[in-house]
Amino acid sequence: MTWSEVSQRRLARSRLAGARADVEPAVVSAGLVGVHAQVMSAAELSIGLRTASLGRDDVRDALWGSRRLVKTRGPRGTVHLLAAADLPMWTGALSALPTGSSPFRPEVRMRDGQTDDVVAAIADAVATTEGELTVDELTEAIVSRVGSWAGDRVMPAFQDNWPRWRQVESVATNRGALCFGPDRGRRTTYTSPRRWLPGFCPAPAEEALAALVRTFLHAYGPATAEQFARWLGAPRAWSAALFARLGDALEPVLFEGVEAWQNAGDVSAEAVVPSLRLVPYFDAYVIGCHPRATLFPGRAGERALTGGQAGNVPVLLIDGLAAGVWHQRRSGRKIAVTVESFVTLTARQRGLLADEVERVGQVLAGTAQLTLGTVSVGAHA
């Protein structure tokens, strides 16, 4: 398989090719296999720029109103917006990931059994408390259930010390005991997926893992087991064994000279549609697609990758390839968008870029103005 045919398929399935259509934010998230939401405005852009008219308020309503989206930890332990309908798959799969050694000093780590005790306390606290809990309120609830040791401020984080229990926050979200609630002012809150999404229950591990592999390969295949492991944040050997267990559900193909895997029978072909799109920080397309050297050719690899990692710099995509970088700065309702293209843009491409910048303003409920020039802002930390 060639890059051209694979790229067109990925672009179409990522809603980055052809005319935009309006679909629910949860449908976009499901197709992207999660939307990175460490920076909420970037998540809103990732979804909104793939639709004809949806904006940040539509994303927020899907998250906090209809609850078709859920904010929790997804691949690589990072905060994501996931389709609520997919949460059983995600929690079933993530809770089956092998646990590595603790990065914390022995006196900070949980002892045998303490992780399970804390996760159980978290699940009970958020399920039985009316409303959502801030981190301080949740700490108090956990301490009251398991003891003061869980609240000891011994966990180094962001030039501060967090309560001991927070080292297993990702474990709790992976097991479906915890997810995020709406912010209370500037404070994060937590809630229970079981209370937030009635009927929720994690799927059986093997069923969930198989579904997650198939979903990933539908969006970003062909891919190797190692590339899936990198995307998910899992050990390579474990990922290779998982792919092997899936047997005939996957089929090998030769992609750009490398053996990779796709879902068996995935022979759909997409028409080549010239495209130009802006994607924000941590966009799922640039994080999920490989090989990096092809996706980020030449100068794009130097400017838009940080140590081989994609997503830390917003990217200008032309026909599915990184062809520039961009940055947006907001002041009131005005949004200054600077785009640095690494290729000479045609008149048609300049028109498409103007449309993209206009959509940035619409999604973020502001007015965006385009400047073609050098982007001097570094990668996102």
Residue 253 belongs to some domain of the structure? no
Are residues 197 and 282 part of one domain?
A: no
Q: What is the CATH number of the domain that holds 122?
A: 1.10.10
Model pLDDT, residue 381: 56
Structural tokens at position 55: 């904006």
pLDDT over threshold 90, residue 202: yes
In a domain, 219, yes or no: no
| pLDDT band at 185; cut points 50, 70, 90 | very high
Please identify, among 201, 222, 253, the residue that sits at the C-terminal boundary of a domain.
Answer: 201
In the three-class reduction of DSSP (H, G, I as helix; E, B as strand; rest coil), residue 18 is classed as: coil
Element containing residue 276 per DSSP (H, E) = strand 276-279
pTM over 0.85: yes
Task: Identify the domain containing residue 335 by its residue range.
Answer: 276-372
Q: Write down which residue in 201, 235, 260 finishes a domain.
A: 201
Q: How many domains does the chain have?
A: 2
Cα separations in angstroms, 42 against 48, 81, 154: 10, 11, 32
72-122 tens-digit pLDDT: 999 999 999 999 999 999 999 999 999 878 888 888 998 879 999 999 999
Whether residue 296 is contained in a domain is answered as yes
Give the residue from 201, 222, 252 where a domain finishes: 201
Residue 306, domain member (yes or no) = yes
Four-CA torsion 40, 188, 88, 193, nearest 10 degrees: -140
**What DSSP line would sit under 316-362, residue for residue?**
EEETTEEEEEEEEEEETTEEEEEEEESSPPPHHHHHHHHHHHHHHHH
For 108-152, how does the pLDDT look when each residue is reduced to its tens digit (9 = 90+)? Answer: 998 879 999 999 999 999 999 989 999 999 999 999 999 999 999
pLDDT at residue 267, rounded to an integer:
84
Say if residue 331's pLDDT is above 70.
yes
**Domain contains 26:** no
In tens, the pLDDT along 207-228 reads 999 999 999 999 999 999 999 9
191 and 281 share one domain: no
Asked if the structure places residue 142 within a domain, the reply is yes
Query: Would 164 be classed as within a structural domain?
Result: yes
Q: Does the pLDDT of residue 20 top 60, yes or no?
A: yes
Cβ atoms 115, 168 nearer than 8 A: yes
β-bridge pairing 321-331 and 334-341? antiparallel
Q: CB within 8 A of 271, min separation 6: which ones?
A: 8
Kindly state whether residue 54 falls inside one of the protein's structural domains.
no
